[in-house]
Structure 1
């Protein structure tokens, strides 16, 4: 196996919206970061509700997907991710049945920083194309079947400034557009024709610099909106033209990572470093009604999911936490049995990944308390990770498989219950 440079990435965080316009996907597909609707909830059923003593059966292990913390998009018979090999970042396609690489294509030069090097985002698959953001902010459009480049653009050319941990967001495909967050004086968001890369619009009246969150598409009172979070604010823009519809202050510290959650007009945002969380209601006229602000669900990164009216995630103050979405009331906390990490939801269950040890735990998504149904520790683990890095790539269930990643090591486990 070739020796790769060490890599790190803050796997971005949170989600929620309604159906995006991603096309040509199946029920089991996972075409983008946190899924097609960015809720991070798999719509599959019939999955295992109890794990064997040593965890679900491992189907395959690919030991060569490059370094980094990129997540994965899974469509049809292929999984797409990003990884650093030597001094280059690549988009890599893997066969989901065998784990063998299908193709790789250059995404851009290697991002380096004190926490490690390499790509930090998840590709997005739409129709015949894959869209991916390199760590230094190069957006590439590739042919899904063979990785042939169609077009590319850099965030620097759009006036964007490289954030401290690199560009981490996952591109959003919305209708005929692909939308990203270069940030800067020309506009926080930028949209392009997804087939040609021709610029379509900028959010010219909203000019916050980019952070690490990913855009959430929502339908609100007949208007398609795009919600994004920065270090200064959370805002909604018109998906058709980038017009700023509303903005609410949410000052962050150091890094703002989790993606916003939206449901029935209510927005929830959270960040780490003592910032906590905030929720507010968006009126039919895009007015803002504050609902609550608290430290009870301050999520650094690793994500929060909304399942049946309750939020679940790891909070800096409490550990693993269940909180009522509408009111902010804490239902339960658990900090003794599992440390900080990432979360994913599928078939009424929560898949938790502890970042420090690689311990994976299955619990019921219920406000009645922590109900565990199995655990195992990811093995083997990389020897190439930066000493400051941990296992930060989010779990994903697609096609009856649980996918996990530790740098160059990509795992597939059978959780289908068959």
Structure 2
């Protein structure tokens, strides 16, 4: 009888515990943080006025937060009235279900930059002033709270805290920056510190987000800081290697923003403001790690639209010019650059079912062939309410295309009928 009761309890617990599925997008750039969707069976082209609108959500404040999607909910952030909020939205209807105050509004640019992270049960959000909150995904009720500046001595540049926290099992990884806790790992359910990793001489937080790498048989957390790329041992918090601190690479740059890309033993990192991108080969040499610069290409700049790897090609917007590029990942050779077409200003992008979904700062979005050796635009339309400086990254998951335009979130149905 005891074994039967135990089995029933375990089964009920399993049913009650949310599970992240293929139709979810639980963190910034997706579960694997590549920015590439696993969706298939999508529209091959769009009608002239765009794909069918499933719903739109309004009243989510001003901000640059994209969306995370899990189960029956969508999460985002925004500055509304005098505060910064985390929002829970119904995935089927777009109805706003709850809101939680994260911190004060404002900053160098008004609005939060973080995309919330969720495991389906809890949701995590970082306000632009370093307020880190954990809430119930179901109700929005606050579970715990930290301040990156106050609790960890965090330091960031003039554009405020911008990263999207990394969820890794029972851990939450964030980057306060500063002399003692450049990166910290917390227990996701309690906020209790697991470890804090320091950099010799310190470094401020950049505006990028942490990625997981397994290099030389060691699990690592890799991050682009204000003055270079850095890696910490995921188990101990020991700094393992650092790259690009000089002023001809990432050091002293106005802002380092794009999320790094990890592919096997290679790490790709880019920055804007005329800097460029590096491909690194990272290997273990005894107890130390050797970092070989395969190339540095000044043509592969990217400011805040993000860079993605699809097959052997890397795609991004050159700085924030609105001229996306395609380059060979292993050599850095530019294959094509967009010239002309609809859409102006910074271009952010994702990929799904062999197509690039590119959204421009002025509200235009384009569907582009990700396999062609020349820029091939298939369809384009203008999202209503499109305005300048709408930089939130697009998301394609579960047959839906999410586009954030300031205080409005548009959800389009892109499934092939």
Do they fold alike, i.e. is TM over 0.5? yes
Query: 1:125 aligns to what?
Result: 118
Out of 177, 183, 186, the residue aligned to residue 189 of structure 1 is 183
> 1:372: which partner in 2?
377
State the match for 1:386 in structure 2. Answer: none
TM-score in terms of structure 2 length: 0.90
Structure 2 counterpart of 1:62, from 49, 57, 65? 57
Contact 1:135-1:168 within 8 A present in 2 as well: yes
Distance 2:145 2:190 in 1: 9
Instruction: Name the larger-Rg structure.
Output: 2
Equivalent residue for 1:302?
305
Distance 1:84 1:59 in 2: 25
Say which of 132, 135, 138 aligns to 1:139: 132
Bigger helix share: 2
Q: 1:328 aligns with which of 329, 332, 335?
A: 332
Whether contact under 8 Å (1:296, 1:318) holds in the other structure is no
CA contact (8 A) 2:323 2:347 kept: no
1:187 Cα deviation after fit: 2.4
Q: Which residue of 2 aligns with 1:289?
A: 292
Does the 8 Å CA contact 1:231/1:253 hold for their aligned counterparts? yes
| 1:277 partnered with 2:277 | yes
Q: Any conservation in 1 of the 2:208–2:223 contact (CA below 8 Å)?
A: yes
Aligned-partner SS, 1:121: coil
| 1:302-336 Cα distance to aligned partner (Å, 9 max, x none) | 01110011001111389221100011111111132
Superposed counterparts of 1:179-258, under 5 Å: 179-206=173-200, 207-249=202-244, 250-258=250-258
SS at match of 2:392: coil
Contact 1:187 1:208 in 2 (8 A): no
Q: How many residues align?
A: 388
Q: Which of 160, 165, 168 does residue 171 from structure 1 map onto? A: 165
1:340-359 matches, within 5 Å, as 340-355=346-361, 357-359=362-364
**Shift in Å at residue 367 of structure 1?**
4.6
Deviations 1:80-117 (A, max 9, x none): 0011111111110001111101111111111333xx31
Aligned partners of 2:199 and 2:255: how far apart in 1?
Answer: 23
Per-residue Cα deviation, 1:146-189 (whole angstroms, up to 9, x for no partner): 01111110011211124311111001111221110100011210
Change beyond 3 A, Cα 1:252–1:258:
farther
Runs of 4+ residues deviating >3 angstroms: none
Query: Quick check: 358-367 or 217-226, which moved more?
Result: 217-226
- SS of the residue aligned with 1:156? helix
Cα distance in 2 for residues equivalent to 1:185 and 1:136: 18
